[in-house]
Structure 1
Amino acid sequence: MSVLEAKGLVKRFGGFLATNDVSIGFAQGARHALIGPNGAGKTTLVNLLTGVLRPDVGTILLEGRDVTGLPPHERVRLGLVRTFQINQLFSGLTPLESILLAIAQRIDRKGDRWRPVARDDEAIREAVELLTRLDLESVMTRPTATLAYGKRRLLEVALALACRPRVLLLDEPAAGVPHGERDEILNAIALLPREVTVVLIEHDMDLVFRFAERISVLVNGALLMEGTPAEVAASRKVREVYLGESLDG
């Protein structure tokens, strides 16, 4: 059974068909990548799955529950969490403060009431453990605005994990990160526990083939194929779509 499943998703923007009858499922504990050329509809599909957009047609199931009509924050509460291509961070807070804020939101301490969580030993311990796991302990008390870009991408992953996701959608986590720092992100993702299903949307094929156990290929808003990395790399159709781009892992 898929922990997250889409059935027959269709999304139009005026006369443009952005998502064309897409049915896709992600198994519990999967390490699944979603790839495709620019304009293939990857981000639109993620926006549909997470509730940023509503499908014109189709159904989205999370652990068998129909969540098609739920807003993003309700899906987060049910365990469906994402990161974004562009960082969504609080630049004036430290990583530790940001993680504590996320924990406070998770346990319903909102607005000005989040600050007492900073005196909660259990919350602090959870935040420090999470930051340590993602190699952020050395910068956890520095303002986020001063961090290297790769560290900020890791912090975004940490914030998503603070929500305790069942499914984590990573939308181009290596985008804009210098090549030498991408291994740090990949290593952090690789260490995520298997109870978290991870879906990676990424242009970096080296990262995709090192991470994924299954790959789905989108083209023009439709699912072209799905298979193992070896099957995708061997596909003539996929190579034609990428116009000779390397798909070797």
Structure 2
Amino acid sequence: MTLALETRHLVKRFGGFIATNDVSLQIRQGARHALIGPNGAGKTTIINLLTGVLSPNSGEILLGGEDITSVSSYRRVGKGLSRTFQINQLFGDLTPLDSVMLAISERKGHGRFAWRPLSADREVADEAASLLERFRLVDVMGMPTTLLPYGKQRLLEIALAIAMQPKVLLLDEPAAGVPEEERHEVLGIVRELPANVTVVLIEHDMDLVFSFADRISVLAAGAVFAEGTVAEISRDPQVKAIYLGEDA
């Protein structure tokens, strides 16, 4: 099994509080892997450790077999690790077209040509147009991002992450806060993400988790409580008792 992402005995403490406790994960290349658990289980802490926002007290993080535990956040992006956030991190005054072209230009190392209009690079413009079409943003590509419906903002954030051509994509609750009438579009895009991109999903919507994931890790009190296929996790009585609130 080729591993895209791995953690070994990952520990993060905040004072006397242990946020992640000896977390070891193995996520195979091309997987659709979900991290689930109740609030306070340590899910977002793990994402922040994986992306370099936080540094672990002990343990290792490997991306494609390479130890990236001490690598900076922006260098992890360059090595193929991208993420989205629970709350959108977007430039409100830019349009989706400008935002995607900017991300592609940065990936291609065109930052030194910042004085040139983005539209001057035909290759970048063509790739941006293709991404906007794939993420169903063509109809709003010229609008300021701050004016977009929230569902479209979530789609744009995923599009920006894909624009960096990641090997591993971390999705932190992509459907959070999206109105019901827009959710089907967001969920459809999540399910249609490129097969060659390994996806790690944090999500409370169990319908999305069960329809998307091929493997699930259940966290409780900062530790991995259970792991298995969708079928195994969905019928595990202890998971139901701790996570779903059902009697074991």
Q: Is the 8 A contact 1:105 1:114 kept in 2?
A: no
Tell me: CA distance 1:69–1:210, structure 2 relative to 1, closer, same or farther (3 Å).
same
Distance 1:138 1:116 in 2: 22
**After superposition, what is the alpha-carbon deviation per residue over 1:167-193, rounded to whole angstroms, capped at 9, x for unaligned?**
000000111001232221121122222
Letter in 2 for 1:107: K
Q: Which runs of 5+ in 2 are unaligned?
A: none
Cα deviation for residue 242 of structure 1 reads: 2.3
Amino acid at match of 2:198: T
Q: In terms of mean alpha carbon deviation, does 183-192 or 3-12 score higher?
A: 183-192
SS in 2 for 1:84: coil
Cα distance change on mapping 1:156 and 1:115 into 2, 3 Å: farther
Query: If the length of structure 1 is used for normalisation, what is the TM-score?
Result: 0.95
Question: Equivalent residue of 2:114, what SS?
Answer: helix
Tell me the equivalent position of 2:183: 182
The gaps in structure 1 that reach 5 residues or longer are: none
- Secondary structure class of the residue paired with 2:218: strand
Cα distance change, pair 131–114 in 1 and its aligned pair in 2 (3 A):
farther
Does 2:29 align with 1:6?
A: no
Match of 2:110 in 1: 109
Tell me by how many angstroms 1:220 deviates: 0.5
Looking at structure 2, the residues matched to 21 and 148 of structure 1 have their Cα atoms a distance apart, in angstroms, of 40
Structure 2 match to 1:215: 216
Aligned length: 246
Distance in 2 between residues matched to 1:6 and 1:175, nearest whole Å: 26
Amino acid in the other structure paired with 2:228: G
Mapping of residues 125-164 of structure 1, within 5 Å: 125-164=126-165
SS in 1 for 2:219: strand
* Equivalent residue number for residue 73 of structure 2: 72
Partner residue in 1 for 2:121: 120
Structure 1 residue 243: Cα displacement: 4.9
How far the C-alpha of 1:16 sits from its partner, in A, is: 0.3
Query: In 1, are the aligned partners of 2:34 and 2:217 still within 8 Å (CA)?
Result: yes
Q: Could you say if the C-alpha distance between residues 111 and 90 of structure 1 is closer, same or farther in structure 2, counting changes exceeding 3 Å?
A: farther
Conserved? CA contact 1:6–1:23, under 8 Å: yes
Instruction: Give 1:112 deviation, angstroms.
Output: 7.2
Indicate if the aligned counterparts of 2:98 and 2:118 stay in contact, CA closer than 8 A: no
Amino acid aligned to 1:80: L
User: Which residue does the alignment assign to 2:21?
Assistant: 20
Structure 1 residue runs of 4 or more that deviate by more than 3 Å after TM superposition: 114-117
Q: Is the 8 A contact 2:6 2:26 kept in 1?
A: yes
Partner of 2:91: 90
Q: Residue 55 of structure 2 aligns with which residue?
A: 54
Please, what TM-score do these two structures have when normalized by structure 2? 0.96
Output the CA distance in 1 between the equivalents of 2:83 and 2:74. Answer: 11
Question: Equivalents in 2 of 1:141, 1:112: separation in Å?
Answer: 23
Corresponding position of 1:239: 240
Residues 97-155 of structure 1 deviation map (CA, whole Å, 9 limit, x = unaligned): 00011112112233871744321111001001001001111111111111000000000
Q: 1:15-51 deviations in whole A, cap 9, x for unaligned? A: 0000000000111110111100000000000111111
Q: Which residue of 2 aligns with 1:170?
A: 171
SS at match of 2:8: strand
